[in-house]
Structure 1
């Protein structure tokens, strides 16, 4: 009897105090930019940004546009995978192409890859965002 109550308490704790996270990088937005005119240049091709996070006692899965994790607790990273990957992309762009301040830049051909490691007691999610950077000239 005591072991059943203890088991239920562990499962209840896991279900009600665990971490869940769901992230997505959806490249659709309300702004429409047509690249039909010659008013831009491609300043960088295939710039990438990376982010990762890890959890204990859980699992992660990806459904295409989103990556989801259900776990007891985070042990690495902030869980803001897509935000951090995009920030890392811009940092990498600035290393090769200079500051982005004052420039009219946009990302084109945005792609993202997710890699997940599930080991029952440990799960790790890695996100890599890649894009081409364009600069508007007029």
Structure 2
């Protein structure tokens, strides 16, 4: 009977669970010459965060990405990296800067993840930090 319950729980996780994984891994490369004085540093160490919580699951990080396998998400949207970047730009605007119509770029982008795994609950938090450069 115990094996049947474990098998049923495993099947439920596989068939009806949710997974979340992602990272902002840029595959393109743009070469920008920063030695001509055509830029200013608009802000340094701007931060954005996002988090999601899940029940009956497990979260782990492989360095560049955080992943979760769980029965159900109970908080957050699961779009951790997109929301963290949106939050970063919102925090930049809250400092009195306007993003619209400006030539801005993120530099020195750093990603961190904080994961809490409990028996019945797992929570993932992604933090993005970057410097913002304004081109003239």
**Structure 1 segment 68-83 matched on structure 2, within 5 A:** 68-83=67-82
54-63 or 24-33: bigger deviation: 24-33
10-19 or 84-93: bigger deviation: 10-19
SS of equivalent to 1:97: coil
Distance 1:113 1:5 in 2: 39
> Shift of the alpha carbon at 1:35?
2.0
TM-score by structure 1 length? 0.91
**Residue number in structure 2 paired with 1:111:** 110
Is the 1:27–1:110 contact (alpha carbons within 8 Å) kept by the matching residues of 2?
Answer: no
RMSD between superposed Cα atoms in Å? 1.5
**Structure 1 segment 119-130 matched on structure 2, within 5 A:** 119-130=118-129
| Cα shift readout 1:33-56 (whole Å, capped 9, x = no counterpart) | 232321100010000001000000
Distance 2:64 2:116 in 1: 18
> Shift of the alpha carbon at 1:6?
4.2
> Shift of the alpha carbon at 1:119?
0.1
Distance 1:127 1:4 in 2: 36
> Shift of the alpha carbon at 1:5?
3.8
**Residue number in structure 1 paired with 2:65:** 66
**Residue number in structure 2 paired with 1:85:** 84
> Shift of the alpha carbon at 1:23?
1.1
**Residue number in structure 2 paired with 1:19:** 18
Q: Which runs of 4+ in 1 moved over 3 A?
A: 3-7
TM-score by structure 2 length? 0.92
SS of equivalent to 1:89: helix
Distance 1:81 1:133 in 2: 20
**Residue number in structure 1 paired with 2:98:** 99
SS of equivalent to 2:95: helix
Gaps of 5+ in 1: none
